[in-house]
Structure 1
Amino acid sequence: MICIPRYWENPDIVQVNREAQRASYIPYPSRSLAVAGQRGSSTSYRSLNGQWRFRYCSSIADADEGFYLPGYDTSDWDGLVVPSCWQRNGYDQMHYTNVNYPIPCDPPYVPDNNPAGLYVREFGMPAEWSDKEAYIVFEGVNACFYVWINGELAGYSQGSRMQAEFHIAPYVKPGKNTIAVLVLKWCDGTYLEGQDMWRYSGIYRDVYVLARDKEHIRDVYNKPELSEDLGQAVLSSELIVKGELTVRAELLDQEGKQVASSVDVIADVGQLTLRVDRPNLWNAETPYLYTLLLTAGTEVLAFDVGFRTIEIVQGVFRINGRPVKLKGVNRHESHPVLGHAIPVNSMLQDLKLMKQHNVNTVRTAHYPNDPRFLELCNRYGFYVIDEADLECHGMGREITGNPASFHRLGQDPLWRTAFLDRAIRMVERDKNHPCIVMWSIGNEAGYGANHQAMAHWVKSRDKSRPVHYEGAAPINLGDSDRSCLDVESRMYASLEEMEAYASDPEQEKPFFQCEYSHAMGNGPGDLHDYWELIYRYPQMMGGCVWEWSDHGIKREANEQCDGQPEHYAYGGDFGEQPHDGNFCIDGLVAPDRTPHTALLELKQAIAPIDFEAMDLSQGLIGIHNRYDFSDLGQVKIRYRLECEGEIRAQGELEPVELSPGCKTTVALGGSWPSLYAAAPARSCLLLRAITSQDDWWSDAGHELAFAQFRLAEQPGMDAVPDGERALPAVGLDVQEQGTMLIVAGDEFRYGFDLRQGKLALIESHGLSLLDEPAELTIWRAPMDNDIFIRESWEREGYDRAVQKTYASSWTYLQERNTVEITVRYSLGGYSKGPVVRGTMRWQINGSGEAVLQVEANVAEHLPFLPRFGLQLSMPAGHEEVEYYGYGPHASYIDRRHSTRQGRYLTTADDMMEHYIRPQENGARYGTEWATVTNLQGMGLWFGATKPFSFAVSHYKPEDLASATHDFKLSELKRPQSIVHLDYKMSGSGSHACGPELLRKYRLEEKAFAMEVAIRPIFKEDWQSHGTFVSKW
């Protein structure tokens, strides 16, 4: 067994020989290389990324004594690429937990069988470095590590997501050197790193050696300040120097032109000051960066400089004097293959997608990110809430069940050093990044004196940025003194809570939803409501959706995957205990960054431009510029008049001169009034705001926002005169055959099972169009956001509700050439009373149309229904779908703002939205008519007196509910097309980790009625110039 100091169970020892944290930078040998910023070009930099010799030990007790000595035989060890997470390379146990610690909760102690990873490699020291000071930098190692150089212990560090730098000049020699690292999976710091994530271990960020001049700049703190009118800027650079140096400071603009300079001799500490007249300001919309070059000795350091102010005035968060809304997301460092080892191109992919969807803010949930991510945010324009690597959520789930235990570590003086270390290292590393607009001292870590010490230290070090911490919210029952915090931060606050806060004159801080609208599975569904409220109140500074990406793990199809095809795995799929299942599948994008429809909904909710119909008859449109700093000079606004897929007119508005935050009214002009007057039913005006120029994140023509306005309503079925129904003169042939009532007309036949009270047969021209009896249904495959209400639904038997027919009768209404079938029914599940009672009336007329009128009465004591409607099963081959409603993607009553009304052609397969854990999906809210046919256009037409929720799938709700993973649906896929015609479908909400579904989005009516119509159709008989024309 290896003999090393047992630092890993002592929270008072967080490092040995680690250098004091400094700002992040790379020294370069010249100005030009420093400006270019390609660290590989620097002769002072040597990467140690790449192949290392590696041995995994299931316990530190098995670690090789002396493995760190030069010449130790590692020939039988494996090779492992650094940076990487060893669990993603076949070692150890994959493990996901949200709240619970994956080890016994006994701080500061960890299991005796503490897994360890042993790393060894050689590296060279060039001869030209012989007169240099050598440092080794680890950007991220989880959870703690010891490092040896040529057999000598160079240091120890913990704090998994922060930089650790060691002075190794005393241990290195010219030529070949040996570095050895021992990484432990657990340490006392594990209790401070209880984030909702996969538990990864190893050297997962970059490792490199820096060769520094004997006398060099150690640290730089750039403090940009602006005059009150923002017309004058002063940059104060506070320097810590090793030795005495002549330091030259130059400030370059974006064209590389020098705008200010200063030279001074600095000994130990000092300051250089640069002044700029009429500076260009930095903000997320126009992220203007200057470059500060500091030349000292043979080294040049380069820093991004953004001139901007951050302040809170009368409870309003402001940047550069203007109120700003933070339209954000929470972003874990997550990669489906690499785990926490994130390549730069993956970071850039995330930021590009965010820009495309109007996101302007990132909360680094819940730890400081790779510093290169901050550089990208500086350059490309994102506000960042930089969060300390601190979460003790598992302390709230101790076996005692004592709520006070949640605050134990935050109140215990023994942990003060560890708490402070995490705040100090974050601020010192990241202090020069203009993108950072707020510091966060952690997440879900209780609240006590240690947090207050963190906040006070941060505010004493950086007076330019506010400090946030949600864990101090009163609901968490921690220390009541929150005066050290500048923002009222909450998670998942309801609209009522937000409204109450904004309406309370005693509340002086801005309100920030650091997490809201939990995007798990088919959700969230409340974004539009949140942003209506956020825009209404200046004190609402915005929020960050939880969260950016699903944390699914890509599993290849191999023998270690039990013969399963390639798929994304979640908690429990690796046999780990404890785990939190698919709670890590809660992103706006899939693991491969394919956007879910929820991201499109967010894009529209936070769009930078709003439209309002002021007077459609005259073509008067209100425009609201919701940009904080930008006018609309780079935006084109186009309009289009559409009617059921046909474009009747289109054009582009004259350029709109509109300052940020302002409103105006414009006229479509020209012949618009006459176009409006002549517009047929289902005519819509579509307005689109698009970019006029290419940018790094989009091509010209990218849609920023849209709005659609209906010009005229379509009359319902019952408003169409009977004379237009073209009833045939031939009467209906009606026969009872056993329990089946057969209604036949000209080339059509319906069969109704009188005993079951169900429509059981539809035939047209000899073609069967119904595979099994049509059923009333109230159940849906639970969405992830149904996680709590699902229990109530299942308890009351919603998931197993079947129809009971009490009585059925029929009559032939000869004067209307219609057969009417009346059924008294109920829906209920075993062991429970009926959920719904009511009456159905089917009317089958001589035109071949069947109209269903349903009256439903829901038991008063029961919770709201998931849905209510008719489910039909059409035979295989009926794959083609056309509908008029909201599209092109899925839409629900609370998640439809990213869709637009129109006529859509699709298929049953394409209507489905795949989620890693299957659930209700693919519905189309507000459908007015639809057809489901075979390739030849033969099938059924559906309509209703009121818009309905419509879906076609190859799965019934019970199929989706029974599958744990998307790939398992292949075994359950039905050849039939399952059609849902719903009176209503309850919304998706965000209740998996948020407030209950809003009442207005629930199907909680206790008495209601619906009417739908079904008719066999051959679409080719109803085409005009190749386009199908719906009668309705």
Structure 2
Amino acid sequence: MINIEKYWENLDVLHINRIAPRAYYIPYADETSACNHKRGKSPYYQTLNGLWKFQYVRSVKEVQDGFYDAAADVNGWDDMIVPSCWQVNGYDQNHYTNVNYPFPCDPPFVPNENPAGLYVRDFQISEQWADKEKYMVFEGVNSCMYLWVNGAFVGYSQGSRVPAEFDISPYLKAGKNRMAVMVLKWCDGTYLEDQDLWRFSGIFRDVYLLARSKNHIRDVFNRQELSEDMRQATIRCEITTTGALPVRVELKDAADQIIQEGNSLIDRSGTIELQIDEPKLWNAEQPYLYQLYVCAGDEVLLFQVGFRKIEIKDGVFLINGMPVKLKGVNRHDSHPELGQTIPMNHMIKDLILMKNHNINTVRTSHYPNDPRFLNLCNEYGFYVIDEADLECHGVFHAGDYHMLTKNPAWQRAFVDRAERMVERDKNHPSIVMWSMGNESGYDVNHIAMAAWTKSRDLSRPVHYEGIDPRHKGSADTEVIDVEGRMYSSPAYIDAYASDENSTKPMFLCEYSHAMGNGPGDLKDYWDVIYKHPKLMGGCVWEWSDHGIKTRTQDGTPFFAYGGDFGDQPNDGNFCIDGLVDPDRKPHTGLLELKKVIAPIRVKAADLRKGIITVTNLYDFQDLAHVVMTWKVEKDGRTTEMGEMNEVKAAPHQTQTVTIPYKLPELSASRYFLTVSFKLRRDTQWAAAGHEITFEQFELPVVVKKQPVIETNAKIELQQQDHSLIVEGFDFCHVFDLHDGTFTRITKHGVNMIEAPPKFTIWRAPTDNDRKIKRLWFEDNYDRAVMHVYKAEISKQSQADVEIMVDFSLGGYIKIPLLHGTAIWRIDGTGAIDLRVNVNVREGLTFLPRFGLQLTMPGGTEEVEYFGLGPHESYIDKRHSVRKGKYLMRVDDMFENYIMPQENGARYGTEWAIVSNEQGMGMRFTSNGEFSFNASHYSPEDLTLAAHDVELVKRKETIVHLDYKMSGVGSNSCGPELLERYRLDEREFQFELHIMPIFKEDES
């Protein structure tokens, strides 16, 4: 067993020999290499990323002493790429848990069987570094680490997601050197790292050496001030050195021109101040950056400078004097194959996707991200809520949510996490708030964190959601500047903002849970947020699904979630809750978010005259960077289009625009205007022509009613047992009077149904149905079958026949869920009309849906419809779609979710045709808009499958024609589905018109 001090359960030891935290930088030899940001080009930087020798040990007690010796034989060990997480490399177990600790909650103690990862790396030191001080930097190690160099113990550190830096100069020798690291899976710090994520371990971020002169700059804090009119800026470079050192600073603009410079002899600490007239200001819309070069000896340090002022006045959050809405997402470090090891291009991909979808804010949930990510946020333009690596959610189930934050023995550990975050990230203009962690109760230790943060940096507000009065306890909250909330309803935040006693701006650090098919309440939130200046916006939970890419036994790839690896305890698919899937394919929820938070709003003024109003919701730029295009569609076909370049409304201003289209007074057709705003020029994140947003209006054309065409077509009627056979010129339909439904619908002998149509109320529960579905199951909604009390001919003539069916839907044990009367009419053309009156049992939970389900034969692959598209839509998730005529295949209707669930519906459908490739099928219309879906999976298929790879595609096509379907909401974690989106009517009537057709004969 290894002979070491047991620091991992000692609250008095957070580190041994770790250098004090400092700002992130890499020293370069000159300005040219510094501004290229290529660390490997610096002569003072040496990466230790790459292949290490690795041994996984199930318990630290089994680690052999001396493995760290310079002469230890590690040739038989495995190879491991660093940085990486050992779980995704086949060691230990992939484990996902949300709230619960993966071991008994007995702080500060962790299991005796504490797994360890042993790392050994041989490396050379350049001769050019002979007279340099050498520092070893670990950007991220989970959860704690012991470090040896050439057999000598160097130090210890814990705190997984902030750097650990060690001076290793005394331990090095000429020629080859050896470094050894022991990483433990758990330490007392694990109690503070109980975030909702896969529990990864190892050296998961970059490792490198820095060579520094004996006297060098250790730290730089670039404090800035802006005058009241924003026309003068001051930057005070507070510089810490290891000894007396002449320091020169240069501030260059984006054109690489020196704006200001200064110098000073600094011995240990000093300040160089620069004054800038008429500074260009930084904001997320126009992220103008200056470059600050700090030069001392043979080193050049480079810092990005963005001048901006962050204030809270009268309860309103301001940036550069403007009230700004934070349109954000919560982002974990997450990669489907690498775990928490995030390559640079992956970070860029995330940010470009966010910019493409009008997102301007990132909350680093729930720990500081890779420091290079913040550089990217500076450049691309994002507001960042930088969050400390602190969450002790598991103590909630231990019985005392405030257990650790109220215990003074933990205060150093709490404050250490704020200190290391702030010191590392303090120079980034993108950071607009510091967050003191997540879901950890609230008491003296959080107060100490916030107090230290304010003592170090007063330029940014301090956030912590734990002061929510619902669970904060009695501790004083004045040290927290922002009223943070999670998943509060739109009504709640409206009430807060309307209360004159509410003095702080409210920030929804998490809202609108995007799990699966959702979220469905975005518009409701943003209507309220825009209504009140005190509401500063929020961050959707969350950006990405956290599935781990793996394979079934037959080699089929899929994304795994909690429990798929036998991990206990686990929270199942609760990690699959993002706006994009693990490989960053956007869900329709992201498209909905893009539309709802779009920075341009369009309203109709006088559509008969072509007059609309355009409101610029940008905070800092006018609309000159976009082009407005428009088109008019007649029954889904474009008749006119144009482009308007004069739309240039200033920020927060509205402009009236007249579009020169022509409309008839009267028409049998429907006309729709679509207005689109697109980028005028290429940007860093999108090409010219990228659509920012759109709006659509139905134009005020009086619809001329089509004359009813009388037909002399007759029917022949015969009954064989309980089968009623209705025949006409080119059709033969069979209705079963016993079962109260059709068994055959044909045209020219082609059968259109594979199974009898049936009324249904069941949908495969969405992730956001995870709470309400318990009530649905209790009342047997999923087992509701039709009972026919009576089916008989109620009217008959040579031209048509009507069949009345009295029925109920119900499961077992309990009384029926609803009763209904259906009138089926068949006329001489073969058309089928349905009118159904429904009475729902009192006291029931709202229905998932009500409608008719048809099963059409194999080969029925073509879908044409007029309604909202091109992607799925629901009553509360339909702002990103537009009315039009769409032609697609059944597979195109399907929206894949890692956990199968209800998907692919088209809200607001006016007519739909489902047919084979030759156009043989059925046309569906109603007396109003209806919800429509066509799929190769039944609701039962989707309900039973736990993963998308378990779905077996049917050759038949399942068609749903719904009177209504309840909304999707965000109740997997958010508030209950709003009442106006529920199908909770006690009585309703639904009409359908079903016409077997051959499309070619119809055109």
Same fold (TM over 0.5): yes
In structure 2, relative to structure 1, the CA distance for the partners of 1:690 and 1:679 (3 Å cut) is: farther
- Is 1:335 the equivalent of 2:318? no
Deviation of 1:676 after TM superposition, in Å, equals: 5.1
| Structure-2 separation of matches of 1:715 and 1:742 | 38
SS of 1:437 mapped into structure 2: strand
- State which of 845, 848, 856 in structure 1 corresponds to 2:838: 856
2:696 paired residue among 708, 712, 731: 708
Of the candidates 848, 857, 872, which is equivalent to residue 890 of structure 1?
872
Residue 957 of structure 2 is aligned to residue 966 of structure 1: no
* Counterpart for residue 162 of structure 1: 162
Partner of 2:523: 528
Q: In terms of mean alpha carbon deviation, does 637-646 or 539-548 score higher?
A: 637-646
Partner of 2:307: 307
Matched, 1:1012 2:975: no
Q: How do 1:210-229 residues align onto structure 2 when only pairs under 5 Å count?
A: 210-229=210-229
C-alpha deviation, 1:812, in angstroms: 4.3
Matches within 5 A, 1:945-1024: 945-969=927-951, 972-1023=952-1003
Deviation of residue 387 (structure 1)?
Answer: 0.1
CA distance in 2, matches of 1:679, 1:162: 67
Cα deviation code 1:167-202 (max 9, x no counterpart): 111111222110000000000001000000000000
| Matches of 1:715 and 1:97, distance apart in 2 | 57
- CA–CA distance in 2 between the matches of 1:959 and 1:55? 44
Query: Quick one: which amino acid aligns to residue 994 of structure 1?
Result: G
In the TM superposition, what is the alpha-carbon distance from 1:564 to its structure 2 partner? Answer: 5.0
Which amino acid is the alignment partner of residue 181 of structure 1?
V
Counterpart of 1:844 (choices 826, 829, 837) is 826
Query: How far did 1:149 drift?
Result: 0.7
Partner amino acid for 1:944?
Answer: S
Q: Deviations over 1:525-555 (max 9, x none)?
A: 0001111111111111000000000000000
Q: 1:783-803, CA deviations, whole angstroms, 9 ceiling, x for partnerless residues?
A: 000001000011011010000
Contact 1:474-1:480 within 8 A present in 2 as well: no
Q: Where does residue 351 of structure 2 map in the other structure?
A: 351
Hey, what does 1:498 align to over in structure 2?
A: 493
2:731 matched to which residue of 1? 748
The match for 1:915 is 897
Runs of 4+ in structure 1 over 4 Å off: 712-716
AA matched with 1:517: S
Pairing of 1:763-842 with structure 2 (within 5 A): 763-814=746-797, 817-842=799-824
d(CA) in 1 for partners of 2:177, 2:851? 73
Instruction: Measure how far apart 1:467 and its partner are.
Output: 0.3
One of 450, 464, 470 as aligned partner of 1:469: 464
Partners of 2:664 and 2:342 lie apart in 1 by: 53
1:347 counterpart SS class = helix
Relative distance call for 1:854 and 1:713 in structure 2 (3 A) is farther
Secondary structure, counterpart of 1:407 in structure 2: coil
- On the 8 A contact 1:781/1:919 being kept in 2, the answer is yes
1:480 shift after superposition: 3.7
Residue 715 of structure 2 corresponds to which residue in structure 1?
732
Contact 1:617 1:676 in 2 (8 A): no
How far does the alpha carbon of each residue in 1:448-498 deviate from its partner, in whole angstroms, 9 at most, with x for none?
Answer: 100000000101110000000001111114234110000010000001111
How far apart are 1:678 and its partner, in Å?
5.5
Decide whether aligned partners of structure 1 residues 293 and 904 sit closer, same or farther in structure 2, where only a CA change above 3 A counts: same
The equivalent residue for 1:425 is 420
Superposition deviation, residue 665 in structure 1: 1.1
- Whole-angstrom distance in 1 between the partners of 2:568 and 2:928: 50
Does residue 293 of the first structure (1) align with residue 293 of the second (2)?
yes
1:676, 1:711 within 8 Å by CA — same for their partners in 2?
A: no
Correspondence 1:120-519 to 2 at 5 A? 120-398=120-398, 402=399, 405-519=400-514
- Letter of the structure 1 residue corresponding to residue 967 of structure 2: G
| Residue 918 of structure 2 corresponds to residue 936 of structure 1 | yes
Q: How far apart are the structure 2 equivalents of 1:21 and 1:991?
A: 41
Listed as ranges, the matches of 1:633-652 within 5 Å are 633-652=624-643
Amino acid corresponding to residue 680 of structure 2 in structure 1 = S
CA shift, 1:677, in A, is 3.0
Q: What residue ranges of structure 2 are gaps of 5+ in the alignment? A: none
Shift of residue 907, structure 1, vs aligned partner = 1.2
**Does the 8 Å contact 1:492/1:995 carry over to 2?**
yes
Instruction: Give the match's secondary structure for 1:575.
Output: coil
1:1026 maps to: none
CA distance in 2, matches of 1:314, 1:737: 80
Q: CA deviation at 1:888?
A: 0.1
The answer to whether the Cα contact below 8 Å between 1:679 and 1:711 also exists between their aligned partners in 2 is no
Hey, what's the Cα distance between the residues in 2 that align with 1:451 and 1:675? 64
Corresponding residue number in structure 1 for 2:533: 538
Distance 1:81 1:225 in 2: 44
- 1:574 corresponds to which of 561, 565, 578: 565
2:685 counterpart of 1:697:
yes
Q: What are the superposed Cα offsets for residues 10-52 of structure 1, whole Å, 9 maximum, x if unpaired?
A: 1221111000000000001112111222111000000000000
For the residues of structure 1 that align with 2:668 and 2:347, how far apart are their CA atoms? 48
Secondary structure of the corresponding residue to residue 229 of structure 2: coil
Q: 1:502·1:537 contact (CA, 8 Å) conserved in 2?
A: yes
Q: Distance in 2 between matches of 1:768 and 1:847?
A: 16
What is the Cα deviation at residue 654 of structure 1? 3.4
The residue type paired with residue 814 of structure 1 is: S
Shift of 1:696: 1.5
- Per-residue CA deviations over 1:365-400 (Å, capped at 9, x if unaligned) read 0000000000000111000000000000000012xx
Equivalent in 626, 640, 655 of residue 646 of structure 2: 655
- Shift in alpha-carbon separation, 1:715–1:615, aligned structure 2, 3 A: closer
Shift, 1:760, TM fit: 1.8
Preserved contact between residue 809 and residue 822 of structure 1 (Cα < 8 Å): yes
Equivalent-residue separation in structure 2 for 1:739 and 1:606 (angstroms): 57
SS at match of 1:992: coil
Contact 1:224 1:306 in 2 (8 A): no
Which amino acid is the alignment partner of residue 929 of structure 1? W
On the 8 A contact 1:366/1:389 being kept in 2, the answer is yes
The structure-2 alpha-carbon separation of the partners of 1:3 and 1:371, relative to structure 1 and needing over 3 Å to count, comes to: same
Counterpart residue type for residue 785 of structure 1? N
Q: 1:760 aligns with which of 731, 743, 754?
A: 743
Alpha-carbon distance in 2 for matches of 1:537, 1:730: 62
What is the SS of the residue equivalent to 1:438?
strand
- The CA distance in 2 between the partners of 1:158 and 1:418, in whole Å, is 10
Equivalent-residue separation in structure 2 for 1:820 and 1:189 (angstroms): 74
Per the TM alignment, residue 562 of structure 1 is displaced from its structure 2 partner at its CA by 3.0
User: After superposition, what is the alpha-carbon deviation per residue over 1:147-182, rounded to whole angstroms, capped at 9, x for unaligned?
Assistant: 001111111000000000001111112221100000
Q: 1:715: Cα distance to partner?
A: 7.1
What do you get for the CA RMSD once the two structures are aligned?
Answer: 1.1
Q: Any idea what SS the aligned residue of 1:161 has? A: coil
Partner of 1:667: 658
Partner of residue 1030, structure 1: none
Distance 2:35 2:575 in 1: 40
- For normalisation by structure 1, the TM-score amounts to 0.96
One-letter amino acid matched to 1:563: D
Instruction: State how far apart, in whole Å, the 2-side matches of 1:827 and 1:326 are.
Output: 47
1:495–1:530 contact (8 Å) kept in structure 2: yes
| Distance change (3 Å), C-alpha of 1:650 and 1:935 | same
- Partner residue in 2 for 1:1029: none
Q: Distance in 2 between matches of 1:565 and 1:751?
A: 43
The letter of the residue matching 1:471 is: G
* Contact preservation (8 Å) 2:667, 2:702: no
CA distance in 1, matches of 2:682, 2:922: 46
Residue 556 of structure 2 aligns with which residue?
Answer: 565
Deviation at 1:645, TM superposition (A): 2.5
2-side partners of 1:37 and 1:826: how far apart? 70
